[in-house]
Amino acid sequence: MKTNYSLLLLALGALFLLSCSKDEEVIDEVWKSDNEKAFNELTYNPAYSRIQSESKMGHIFYKVIKEGTGNQPIYYTSHVKMYYTGSLIDGTVFDRAEHPDKLAVEFQVSQVVDGWGAALQHMKEGDRWEVWIPQELGYGSSAQTNIPAYSTLRFEMEVVKVWGIEEK
Question: What is the rounded CA–CA span in Å between residue 146 and residue 66?
Answer: 28
Pairing between β-strand 93-97 and β-strand 79-87 as defined by DSSP bridges: antiparallel
Q: Which candidate, 37, 41, 120, 24, places its Cα nearest to that of 76?
A: 120
Q: Which candidate, 71, 60, 102, places its Cα nearest to that of 84?
A: 102
The pTM for the full model equals 0.81
Architecture field, domain 2-163: Roll (3.10)
The confidence score (pLDDT) of residue 28 equals 85
Q: Side-chain half-sphere of 49: how many Cα atoms within 13 Å?
A: 9
The confidence score (pLDDT) of residue 36 equals 97
For the chain, which ranges sit under pLDDT 50? 7-23
The confidence score (pLDDT) of residue 15 equals 42
The confidence score (pLDDT) of residue 103 equals 82
Question: What is the rounded CA–CA span in Å between residue 28 and residue 6?
Answer: 33
The confidence score (pLDDT) of residue 98 equals 77
Length of the chain: 168
Q: Give per-residue burial for 43-64: e unless 16+ CB within 10 Å, then b.
A: eeeeebeeeebeeeebbbbbee
